[in-house]
């Protein structure tokens, strides 16, 4: 005889804002001690939302919270290694650049090559308020820079030519209209 084990529900998923939502263009404020509860509740929901999407990074403004916080997990070799970054700051960047194709959960289906520093040094606070530091390269370096940009209202399309950006934004608007029509 076996008892059915009830499936444990994961954290509630959050709706992801899509361009041109104005909140994606705001500069986020630093997380302070008074935000501790909000940030603690937000982190698991942001991670669950990111994994479900699926994506490798998600910044708080993408779920409508204008706070300097993001989650990242590049899931190398399919292993989950979540980073929760509160008040992250880039402290050094390499002269070497690298170009990678980027996408964004707030611009679904749109991709472009973006050139950024190949390596970055970063510091942030974890959920316990402890200082953390990391020297990142490769995909992780790109992903971290992309997520930190979000905290200043900057999107990956701001790093490409105006011509490419406008093409991509027009295509996004068209895709979203189509999606809306299909949902009706
Ligand atoms: Ni993004």
What's the 99 CA to ligand 1 centre distance in angstroms? 16
- The pLDDT assigned to 11 comes to 86
pLDDT reading at 89 higher than 90: yes
Please provide the average confidence, as pLDDT, over all residues in the chain: 95
* 3-state SS assignment for residue 12: coil
pLDDT number for residue 184: 75
Region 141-169: mean pLDDT is: 98
Task: Identify the three-state secondary structure at position 97.
Answer: strand
Using alpha carbons, select from 53, 54, 119, 129 the residue that is nearest to residue 84. 129
Residue of 89, 102, 119, 147 marked catalytic: 147
Query: How many whole angstroms separate alpha carbon 37 and alpha carbon 34?
Result: 8
Spatial separation of the C-alpha atoms in residues 73 and 65, rounded to whole Å: 20
What is the number of other CB atoms lying within 10 angstroms of the CB of residue 33? 6
Domain ranges of the chain: 22-183
Whether residue 20 has a cis bond before it, omega within 30° of 0: yes
Task: Kindly report the CATH class assigned to 22-183.
Answer: alpha beta
pLDDT at residue 107 in the model:
98
Mean pLDDT of 131-160: 98
- Cα of 181 from ligand 1 centre, angstroms: 25
- Write out pLDDT tens, residues 15-43: 999 999 999 999 999 999 999 999 999 99
The radius of gyration of the chain's CA atoms, rounded to the nearest angstrom, is 17
Say what the pTM is: 0.93
Ligand 1: distance of its center to the CA of 32 in Å?
23
- More confidently predicted of 2 and 110: 110
Cβ contacts of 102 within 8 Å, gap of 6 or more: 111, 112, 113, 114, 142, 146, 156
Ligand 1 centre distance from Cα of residue 140 (Å): 13
Tell me the C-alpha distance between 144 and 155, whole Å: 13
Query: What would the pLDDT profile of 125-143 be if each residue is shown by its tens digit?
Result: 999 999 999 999 999 999 9
Cross-strand bridge partners of residue 85: 70
Instruction: Using a pLDDT cut of 90, give the percent of the chain over it.
Output: 90
Binning pLDDT at 50, 70 and 90, where does residue 146 land? Answer: very high
46 neighbors 62 (Cβ within 8 angstroms): no
Residues 4-15: tens digit of each pLDDT? 556 667 889 999
- Ligand 1 centroid – CA 107 distance (Å): 8
Per-residue pLDDT band for 183 (boundaries 50, 70, 90) equals confident
Q: Is 147 a catalytic residue?
A: yes
| Whether residue 160 has pLDDT greater than 70 | yes
């Amino acid at each position: 005889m076996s008892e059915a084990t009830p499936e444990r529900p994961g954290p509630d998923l959050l709706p992801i804002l899509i361009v041109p939502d104005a909140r994606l263009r705001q500069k986020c404020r630093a997380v302070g001690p008074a935000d501790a509860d909000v940030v603690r509740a937000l982190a698991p929901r942001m991670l669950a939302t990111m994994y479900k999407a699926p994506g490798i990074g998600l910044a708080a403004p993408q779920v409508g919270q204008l706070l300097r916080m993001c989650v990242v997990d590049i899931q190398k070799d399919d292993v989950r290694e979540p980073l929760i970054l509160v008040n992250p700051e880039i402290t050094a960047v390499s002269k070497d650049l690298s170009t990678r194709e980027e996408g964004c959960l707030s611009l679904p289906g749109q991709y472009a090559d973006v050139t950024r520093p190949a390596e970055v040094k970063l510091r942030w606070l974890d959920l316990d308020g402890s200082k953390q530091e990391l020297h990142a390269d490769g995909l992780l370096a790109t992903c971290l820079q992309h997520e930190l940009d979000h905290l200043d209202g900057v999107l990956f399309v701001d790093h490409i030519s105006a011509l490419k950006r406008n093409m991509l934004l027009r295509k996004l608007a068209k895709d979203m209209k189509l999606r809306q029509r299909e949902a009706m």
